């Protein structure tokens, strides 16, 4: 079946968390155990029918939430042992990745150095676990101080601020590899909601803030559903679903699908379907 907005149309479970919003500073995140239960309305059932076949779960059971009751957190059973194992796997795999990929990292850095000089790394403050700020590391793919020129933080295909090799780095996710250091430090996880700008978080609804209950990831549920080719409202919906349904098995599935994601470079830029819509 055809993919629509980065979502696998082959999914048989209906579901589409219809939420408004998105977007820094440290904030208070509601507990996942404090959610109220919303009622099932006729409008809700109609919405479920309208999005059948476009579920966010890739065949996993997905709870759909209509706009009328979509700002309610759903209770999630705490899993401290599984989360501790997740963190152990993150640190182990990140350390191994940095060692094994060190020649690749050095080569990618050297290309940037020759092409546009220092710095080779891009640093930016992002919202981490529970909304706490941290500094993310990426290979620089744009001219220095790019956010002060052109469209600011918005980047689209053909942007003249992108370095000649920057487009290649971005399309295949090579610019994200320095985030293995963020994972090793504990700022991020290999799998989780992508970290957003601090100022974006300020406009989250209580339910949307649930995406901050997990460490941000190098890749994640919204990444394998279309990356930046889907609008932010949809990306947040997908991330909230991930937090509510997280398991190590789900992480393994995301990691596997990330390999396929790298073969779809057309989802790198927002185009006409992605971007900030909140």
pLDDT digits (tens, 9 = 90+) for 155-212: 767 788 999 999 999 988 899 999 999 999 999 999 999 999 999 898 898 989 999 9
If residue 218 lies in a helix (H) or strand (E), which one and from where to where?
strand 217-219
**pLDDT single digits (tens) 30-84:** 443 333 334 444 443 333 333 333 444 443 333 333 333 345 556 666 789 999 9
Higher pLDDT, 227 or 129: 129
What whole-number distance in Å separates Cα of residue 36 and Cα of residue 145?
A: 44
**If DSSP codes are grouped into helix, strand and coil, which group holds residue 126?**
strand
pLDDT value at residue 18 = 27
Q: Which residue in 233, 224, 162, 158 sits closest to 191, CA to CA? A: 224
SS3 19: coil
Strand partners, 142: 162
Token pair listed for 259: 């390999």
46: number of Cβ within 10 Å = 11
Contact call for residues 220 and 242 (beta carbons, < 8 A): yes
Domain ranges of the chain: 80-267
* Separation CA 129–CA 133 (nearest Å): 8
Q: What is the pTM (predicted TM-score) of this model?
A: 0.73
């Amino acid at each position: 079946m055809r993919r629509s907005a980065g979502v696998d149309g082959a999914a048989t479970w209906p579901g589409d968390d219809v939420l408004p919003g998105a977007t820094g500073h440290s904030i208070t995140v509601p507990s996942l155990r404090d959610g109220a239960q919303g009622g099932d309305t006729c409008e809700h059932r109609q919405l479920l029918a309208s999005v059948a076949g476009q579920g966010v779960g890739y065949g996993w059971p997905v709870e759909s939430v209509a706009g009328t009751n979509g700002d309610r957190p759903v209770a999630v059973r705490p899993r401290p042992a599984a989360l501790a194992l997740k963190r152990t796997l993150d640190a182990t795999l990140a350390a191994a990745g940095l060692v094994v990929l060190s020649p690749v990292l050095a080569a990618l850095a050297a290309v940037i150095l020759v092409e546009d000089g220092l710095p080779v790394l891009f640093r930016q403050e992002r919202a981490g676990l529970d909304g706490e700020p941290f500094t993310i590391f990426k290979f620089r793919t744009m001219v220095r101080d790019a956010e002060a020129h052109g469209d600011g933080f918005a980047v689209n295909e053909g942007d003249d601020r992108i370095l000649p090799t920057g487009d290649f780095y971005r399309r295949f996710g090579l610019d994200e590899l320095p985030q293995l250091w963020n994972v090793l430090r504990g700022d991020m996880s290999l799998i989780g909601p992508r970290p957003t700008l601090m100022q974006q978080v300020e406009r989250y609804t209580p339910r949307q803030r649930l995406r901050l209950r997990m460490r941000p990831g190098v890749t994640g549920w919204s990444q394998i559903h279309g990356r930046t080719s889907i609008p932010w409202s949809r990306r947040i919906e997908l991330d909230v679903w991930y937090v509510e349904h997280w398991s190590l098995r789900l992480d393994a599935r995301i990691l596997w699908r990330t390999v396929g994601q790298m073969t779809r470079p057309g989802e790198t830029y927002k185009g006409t379907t992605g971007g900030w819509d909140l």
